[in-house]
Amino acid sequence: MIGKDEIVGVLERSLAAAAGDEADAIVVASERNVTRFANSNVHQNMSEESGELVLRIIADGKQGVASTSSFLDEDIRHTASLALDMARRSERLEGFTGLYGGNEPVAELPTFDEATSRLADADKAHRLRAMFDEGTTKKVTFAGSFSTTVASLAAGNTNGIRRWAPLTAADLVTIAVADDTSGFATRMSRRSGDIDTMELGREATDAALLRRHDRSDIDAGPWDVILGPPAMAEIFEWMNMITFTGQSYEDGSSFFVGNRDKQVLGVNCTLADDPLDPEFAPFPFDAEGMPRRRNSLVEKGRVHGPVLDRLMADRLGLEPTANAASPGSDEHGIALHVSMAGGSASREEIIATTERGILVTRFHYLNGLIEPRTAMMTGMTRDGTFLIEDGKVTKRLPNLRWTQSMVEAFSNIDTLSKERRIIGTWWNTFGGTLAPTVKIRGWKITGRSGA
């Protein structure tokens, strides 16, 4: 991993090369190691080292943004020249009051784990081998990936802001396959020691084998559904694009528009962007160098959001929330640490108190662009969908198609589990989603898969 002095040095050289009135930049250098497996055999170990500089220049009230993957002086100067040229050709920024200059201290957070940074491919393979061997006794095979990331990040601007933090992340995704059925499990953490490969393997195996010889079908219509954390994470990935961002708020596609401080969702729905929770995947500053903090999106059903970078906050006449993912990024604020508050029940208790419903492991093929103002989405279930009758899982169901408004769904939350899990995503090294298991009434099932 590139150390603090080197990465901050790249930041200093970038800001020194920037002309114009103001400039800010973020520099990221990372090493990602991925162990991929299929048929219960490791078939690939891949290591990728990458670096990126994103530089923004403000000139005459206009902005230009350019990026490069090279940290050589000549490439940095070329990037600064491009950013200045783009600024001169751009429209003036409406209401923008300038880059951040407060320089408040940032929180000291556990963003880095030494053991994770040193986890070797062979160590991953040994841990996976034990999972594979146990699967063999149950006649299941595994496919998926076990990845670790080590990164160094620096952000700053010509107003004197300088931030740096190291970062680690570990993420296991596994699918257990038993002939024509499958199960899924995943977990992400800053610490690889939190990734229990045996526990996740058993979870995926249980989903693959559960009621595999007791098949059934159901009629389309409203159903009570119990959604696991991976399913909730898929929903929040889309809501992050169509609901939580500054851009979705400005363009009117978010259901937050016109509803701030109004009771829109159920009282048991609380959502936040929470990068300070040490049990989550914490990170202390955003891409504009502002100190991160917990931002309430929805509090007991009452809308508080959206999340905003400085430019969009100035444009809307609101306070910035320290949610810039990159200088001048198009989403103008994004929730990198989506956290849903849990309840008091266990997953088993939620199932036991369900008279008739559907248990869902995860979703795929989601589309959240049907009608963003109600967060209407459609998708399929995958890797374990089950019928619940009289508080027990009785039948295995085919993959089901659904179409559902999340405004309606989050107004019909019945129960939430006290246990929550961190789910990672391929694009978000900074954080992820922390979600419970959630029971929702009246979820619209519209069809099933063909086979």
Instruction: Kindly state whether residue 223 falls inside one of the protein's structural domains.
Output: yes
Residues 175 and 246 in one domain: no
Residues 143 and 222 in one domain: no
Q: Is the pLDDT of residue 229 over 60?
A: yes
Residues 190 and 257 in one domain: no
Domain count, the chain: 2
Backbone angles phi, psi at 151, to 5 degrees: -140, 160
Residue 63: what pLDDT? 98
Instruction: Kindly state whether residue 142 falls inside one of the protein's structural domains.
Output: yes
Residue 249: what pLDDT? 98
User: CA 175 to CA 229: how far, in whole Å?
Assistant: 15
Q: Which long-range contacts (C-beta less than 8 Å, at least 24 apart) are formed by 178-182?
A: 178/138, 178/139, 178/140, 178/205, 178/208, 178/209, 178/212, 179/212, 181/208, 181/209, 181/212, 181/384, 181/396, 182/207, 182/208, 182/382, 182/383, 182/384
Task: Give residue 372's pLDDT band: very low, low, confident or very high (50, 70, 90).
Answer: very high
Q: What is the DSSP letter of 91?
A: P
User: CA 169 to CA 429: how far, in whole Å?
Assistant: 7
Instruction: Kindly state whether residue 374 falls inside one of the protein's structural domains.
Output: yes
User: CA 86 to CA 58: how far, in whole Å?
Assistant: 10
Task: Give residue 175's pLDDT band: very low, low, confident or very high (50, 70, 90).
Answer: very high
Residues 202 and 248 in one domain: no
pLDDT digits (tens, 9 = 90+) for 421-435: 999 998 898 999 999
Instruction: Kindly state whether residue 212 falls inside one of the protein's structural domains.
Output: no
Cα of first residue to Cα of last residue in the chain, in angstroms, is 47
pLDDT digits (tens, 9 = 90+) for 237-277: 999 999 999 999 999 999 999 999 999 999 999 999 999 99
* Span 354-365, average pLDDT: 97
Residues 307 and 338 in one domain: yes
Q: Is the pLDDT of residue 451 over 60?
A: no
* Span 200-225, average pLDDT: 97
Instruction: Kindly state whether residue 254 falls inside one of the protein's structural domains.
Output: yes
Residue 429: what pLDDT? 87
pLDDT digits (tens, 9 = 90+) for 321-357: 999 999 999 999 999 999 999 999 999 999 999 999 9
Residues 256 and 202 in one domain: no
CATH number at residue 141: 3.30.2290.10
Strands (E), 318-426: 337-340, 356-371, 376-389, 392-396, 400-405, 413-423
Using the 3D structure, point to which of 178, 207, 236 is the last residue of a domain. 207
Q: Is the pLDDT of residue 1 over 80?
A: no
Using the 3D structure, point to which of 207, 233, 255 is the last residue of a domain. 207
Residue 426: what pLDDT? 87
* Span 396-420, average pLDDT: 98
User: CA 312 to CA 331: how far, in whole Å?
Assistant: 9
Residues 296 and 414 in one domain: yes
For residue 373, give its domain range.
218-448
* Span 177-200, average pLDDT: 97
Task: Give residue 449's pLDDT band: very low, low, confident or very high (50, 70, 90).
Answer: confident
Q: Is the pLDDT of residue 2 over 90?
A: no
Residue with tokens 């940095």: 76
Residue of 89, 173, 79 lying closest to 124 (CA atoms) = 173
Mean pLDDT for the chain?
97
Residue 279: what pLDDT? 87
User: CA 37 to CA 192: how far, in whole Å?
Assistant: 18
Residue 262: what pLDDT? 98
Residues 126 and 194 in one domain: yes
Residue 338: what pLDDT? 98
Residue of 64, 43, 123, 21 lying closest to 328 (CA atoms) = 64
The token duo for 1 is 């991993």
Residue 434: what pLDDT? 98
Residue 401: what pLDDT? 98
Q: Is the pLDDT of residue 225 over 90?
A: yes
User: CA 221 to CA 175: how far, in whole Å?
Assistant: 29
Residues 70 and 102 in one domain: yes
pLDDT digits (tens, 9 = 90+) for 34-57: 999 999 999 999 999 999 999 999
Instruction: Kindly state whether residue 160 falls inside one of the protein's structural domains.
Output: yes
Q: How many CB atoms lie within 10 A of CB 353?
A: 14
List of residues 6+ apart from 160 with CB closer than 8 A: 101, 103
Of the chain, the percentage scoring pLDDT greater than 70 comes to: 100
Using the 3D structure, point to which of 207, 234, 268 is the last residue of a domain. 207
Instruction: Kindly state whether residue 213 falls inside one of the protein's structural domains.
Output: no
Residues 269 and 149 in one domain: no
Residues 182 and 244 in one domain: no
Residues 107 and 21 in one domain: yes
Of the chain, the percentage scoring pLDDT greater than 90 comes to: 97
Instruction: Kindly state whether residue 76 falls inside one of the protein's structural domains.
Output: yes
